[in-house]
A and B are shown apart, each in its own frame.
Chain A
C-alpha cells in the first residue's frame, strides 16, 4: 500500500491525522493508490519530459549569471473542496476591495491617516509610496488590478493570508501550465472527477485590460511590457502575451510623444492604450523614477497622469505590498468595508514598536523575521533554522532599521504527499491564487501551489529550490 507509511507531522492537505484520505481527496488518493509506485514514477518522468519539450522555464541568477531552469513540478496534485474554495474566493475579493480602497485613499484624501487607523509615520517611511501618484484616480478606483496573495494553512487547518503581492506578481502561467501537464499525464482522473478548470484566466485578464482603456477608445491597443529575456518571469511574459494575443514589448519598442504612448512598428508609430507592465515602478520611467533605468520608457508616467494610457498595475500600488502595511489589512477591511476579514492574517509583530520588538528579539528562534519590502523569499530569516551568527546579524539589522522588518510566529505550513526519491513523503507548501480587479473581480479556481522540495524546509520560493503542484478544486464531497 502506497499510503501506509505516509505520515505528516502537521496538517496534511490530502491525508487526515487518522491516515485516511480527506473526503475531497479520496478519489484522487484511491487513483494514485491504484496506479502504484512504478506507474506514478513513469507519469512523473512523462511530466518532466513534457516540461522540457514545452520549454517551461524560469530564470535563476547565481554567481555564473542567468540560468534558464526547467520548471520543477510534482505530479501528485493538491486537492481542495469547492466548498472551502468558495469561502477563500470571497475572502480574497473582500481583501482586494479593501486594499484598493486603501491605496486610492492614500493617494487621495488620506482619510485613513486622519482617522488614526493607519499611522502617518508608517506612510512617511513607505518605500513604495510614490508622490507622483498623488491625486490620480484610475478607472473603477482600482490600483492593484492583478494580485497574487500567498495563502498558508497552519497545523490546525486554518487558512491564513501570508502576504499580498501587488506590484508585479508572477506565477499564473505556471498554474496554467501545471494544469495542462496534469491533463496529459492523468487523463483518466479528469474524465472521472469534477475538477474545476483553470484556463479561463487569460481571457478574463484580457477582458480586464481592455476595460481599463481610456474612455472613448473603442478598440484599445493592449501590450505586455517585459524587462526582457533576463527576467526571472520572462517565460510567463511570453506565455501571457501569446495567450491573450497581445504584443510583447520591451521599453525600447515604446516611445512617448506629447504625453501619448506609441509603439514603433514597421509602418510608423502606433498608439498604445493599455500597458500590462511587468516592470517594477522603479524602472518604469527614467524621467519619473530611477533615472538609470534602461528597461523602461521615458515619459510613461506623464502619459499615464495625462490619462492617455492605462498602466496595469497602477504605479504606486506597491505601497500596500509592504509587509508592515500587511499587518494593518484586517483593520483596513473593517475601516473601508465595515466587515470583518473573512481570511485572517498571520499574527504579525511590528518591530518599530519598541514593546513588540523587545518581545521578538528576546526569543528570535520562535519567529520568522522578514524585510518589509523584499520579494522572492530574499532576506527572510527563519529563527528555528538559523545559525547563531545569522540570528545575530538579523538582530543587528532589525535594531538598525526596525521600520523595515516584521516578525511572525513560525507557521508550521501544511504538507501534501510529494513524490520524492525514497517514495511519497510529506512536503510543506503554500498557495498563490490570483485576483483580478476591475469593474468586477475574479479569483482563479485554485492557484499556484508551491512546495518546498527539501525535507522539513518551509521555503517554497522557486528562486530558492521550491517546486510546484497542480491545485485541484473538486466539486462534491463536503469540507475537510
Chain B
C-alpha cells in the first residue's frame, strides 16, 4: 500500500497544482474584469490578494507591482503562484515514480520559466505566462488522466485537486459576490463580473452552452455548486472524493466530514456570503480529517505469516570478549 508520507506528497501535489492553475485563471479573469469596468468601479487587487491568502492588513491598498511580487512571483510564499509551483515540484520530485514521466518534463520547465521572471515583467508577458501556467496544468492533468495507474496514489492526487478546486472556487465566488454593489443589480456591470467569475473558474463555456445568453446569480451558482455533471462544480468534486474514499481503508471519518460540505439545494442571494464561509470552513475541516486519518497515524503491527528470521546471527564463540552489542 501507499506510504503515508507518499500519500501526503501526492495529495499536496494535487492541491498545489490546482492552486497554481486556479490562481492563474483568477488573475487572468480579474485583469479582464478590470479592463471592462471604468475607473472607480474597477476592483482593486487587494481582494484577489486576500483570496490568495495575503493578510487583510497587507492586502489593503496593494499596488499592482506588489501584487505581482507577492502573489505571483514569491517563491518562498506558501500562497503565491510560484510558491505553489515550487511545492508541486518538490512533491512531484519525491513521487515521480507514481506519475507518467511527462509530468516532470511539463512541470519543471514551467517552474523554471516562471521563476526566471522579474518583478518588472510587462503586463502582456505576464499574461502570456499565466496562460502558459493554465495550459501546462491542463497538460499535466491530461498526462495523469491518460497515463496514471488508478491506484491509491491517483486517489490522493485527485482528492487534493478536487478539495483545492472547491476551495478556490468558493473564494473566487465570494470576492466577486462581495464586489457587486447593490445598486448595480441588473446593470451591465454585474454581467461583466459574473462573466469574469465564470471565466476565472473555467466555467464560462459550459455556462453559455447550458444557460445561453444572460448571466445571473442564480444560474451561475446552480452550475458552480450543484451541477453533478460539471467537473468543476462543488457537487461533482464531493461526489468524486466520496468515490475515492470508498476504496480506501478507514474512510468513515473523512467521509462524514466530507458529507457535511454539501450545501442545501437553494441558496438565497443575501445569505450567500455566510454560506460560502461556512462551506470553506467545512472543506478545510474535511481536508484536515483526511490528513489526520492517513498521513500521521499510529498503526498496529500486522500479523506475520512467517516466523522471524534468525539465520544471520552467530553465537559468540567461547573465549571472545563479551560485548554489549547493542550499545555501539
Binding site for B on A (CB under 8 A): 52-55, 130-132, 134-139, 214-217, 229, 238, 241-242, 245, 247-250, 252-253, 257-260, 262-271, 287-289, 301-302, 305-308
Pick the interface stretch among B130-138, B177-185, B300-308.
B300-308
**Contacts A238-B93, A245-B97, A268-B249; A308 near B308 (Cβ below 8 A):** yes
The reply to whether A307 and B2 form a contact with Cβ atoms under 8 Å apart is no
Residue of A nearest to B306 (CB): A216
- Smallest Cβ distance from B174 to chain A, in angstroms? 33
Residue of A nearest to B327 (CB): A132
Residue of A nearest to B325 (CB): A132
Pick the interface stretch among B30-38, B59-67, B102-110, B212-220.
B102-110
Contact of A136 among B304, B313, B320, B324 (CB under 8 A): B313
The A-contacting residues of B in range 276-328, CB under 8 angstroms, are 294, 297, 299-302, 304, 306, 308-316, 320, 323-328
Chain B positions within 8 Å of A268 at CB level:
1, 249, 299-300, 302
21 contacts between A and B (CB under 8 A): A53-B108, A132-B325, A132-B326, A135-B314, A135-B325, A214-B311, A217-B306, A245-B97, A248-B97, A260-B304, A265-B3, A269-B299, A269-B300, A271-B304, A288-B326, A288-B327, A289-B328, A306-B313, A307-B311, A307-B312, A308-B309
Bound CA span A241–B104, Å: 15
Contact of A266 among B90, B294, B313 (CB under 8 A): B294
Chain A positions within 8 Å of B327 at CB level:
131-132, 288
B94: CB under 8 A from chain A? yes
- Smallest Cβ distance from B296 to chain A, in angstroms? 9
Contact of B4 among A53, A135, A266, A289 (CB under 8 A): A266
B239: CB under 8 A from chain A? no
Chain A positions within 8 Å of B148 at CB level:
none
Contact of A250 among B5, B97, B304, B308 (CB under 8 A): B5
Please give me the 8 A-B residue pairs with the lowest Cβ-Cβ distance, nearest first: A307-B312, A265-B1, A267-B1, A214-B309, A242-B97, A132-B328, A264-B4, A257-B301
**Contacts A266-B248, A267-B1, A269-B302; A260 near B308 (Cβ below 8 A):** yes
**Contacts A55-B93, A305-B325; A249 near B249 (Cβ below 8 A):** no
Residue of A nearest to B89 (CB): A55
- Smallest Cβ distance from B298 to chain A, in angstroms? 9
Binding site for A on B (CB under 8 A): 1-7, 90, 93-94, 96-97, 104-105, 108-109, 112, 152, 248-249, 294, 297, 299-302, 304, 306, 308-316, 320, 323-328
Residue of B nearest to A249 (CB): B3
Chain A positions within 8 Å of B302 at CB level:
262, 268-271
Bound CA span A253–B5, Å: 6
Chain B positions within 8 Å of A288 at CB level:
326-328
Residue of B nearest to A138 (CB): B312
The secondary structure that dominates the A interface is mixed
Chain B positions within 8 Å of A271 at CB level:
302, 304
The reply to whether B108 and A54 form a contact with Cβ atoms under 8 Å apart is yes
- Smallest Cβ distance from A252 to chain B, in angstroms? 7
**Contacts A252-B5, A264-B297, A307-B313; A242 near B96 (Cβ below 8 A):** yes
Contact of A247 among B6, B96, B105 (CB under 8 A): B6
- Smallest Cβ distance from A173 to chain B, in angstroms? 13
Bound CA span A301–B3, Å: 22
Residue of B nearest to A223 (CB): B3
Chain B positions within 8 Å of A137 at CB level:
312-314
The reply to whether A301 and B313 form a contact with Cβ atoms under 8 Å apart is no
Given contacts A54-B104, A248-B97, A266-B294, 20 further A-B contacts (CB under 8 A): A54-B105, A55-B104, A132-B326, A132-B328, A135-B320, A216-B309, A238-B93, A242-B96, A253-B4, A264-B297, A265-B1, A265-B4, A266-B152, A267-B2, A268-B1, A268-B299, A269-B300, A307-B308, A307-B310, A307-B312
- Smallest Cβ distance from A180 to chain B, in angstroms? 12
- Smallest Cβ distance from B242 to chain A, in angstroms? 17
**Contacts A268-B300, A271-B304; A253 near B310 (Cβ below 8 A):** no
* Most chain B CB inside 10 Å of its own CB: which residue of A136, A260, A267: A267
The reply to whether B312 and A131 form a contact with Cβ atoms under 8 Å apart is no
Residue of A nearest to B307 (CB): A216
The reply to whether B299 and A134 form a contact with Cβ atoms under 8 Å apart is no
- Smallest Cβ distance from A263 to chain B, in angstroms? 6
Residue of B nearest to A288 (CB): B328
Chain B positions within 8 Å of A54 at CB level:
104-105, 108
The reply to whether B313 and A135 form a contact with Cβ atoms under 8 Å apart is yes
Chain B positions within 8 Å of A214 at CB level:
309, 311-312
- Smallest Cβ distance from B316 to chain A, in angstroms? 6
The reply to whether B5 and A53 form a contact with Cβ atoms under 8 Å apart is no
Chain B positions within 8 Å of A253 at CB level:
3-5
- Smallest Cβ distance from B264 to chain A, in angstroms? 33
* Most chain A CB inside 10 Å of its own CB: which residue of B294, B302, B304, B309: B309
Chain B positions within 8 Å of A302 at CB level:
326
Bound CA span A54–B304, Å: 42
Chain B positions within 8 Å of A217 at CB level:
306, 309
**Contacts A307-B313, A308-B308; A134 near B297 (Cβ below 8 A):** no
Chain B positions within 8 Å of A305 at CB level:
313, 325-326
**Contacts A131-B323, A136-B313, A305-B326; A263 near B308 (Cβ below 8 A):** no
Bound CA span A269–B303, Å: 10
Bound CA span A131–B316, Å: 13
Chain A positions within 8 Å of B249 at CB level:
266-268
**Contacts A215-B309, A258-B301, A306-B308; A249 near B326 (Cβ below 8 A):** no
Bound CA span A215–B96, Å: 31
- Smallest Cβ distance from A245 to chain B, in angstroms? 6
Chain A positions within 8 Å of B7 at CB level:
266
- Smallest Cβ distance from B192 to chain A, in angstroms? 40
Chain B positions within 8 Å of A139 at CB level:
312
Chain A positions within 8 Å of B310 at CB level:
306-307
* Most chain B CB inside 10 Å of its own CB: which residue of A135, A258, A263: A135
Bound CA span A138–B326, Å: 17
- Smallest Cβ distance from A47 to chain B, in angstroms? 16
* Most chain B CB inside 10 Å of its own CB: which residue of A52, A242, A287, A306: A242
Chain B positions within 8 Å of A136 at CB level:
312-314
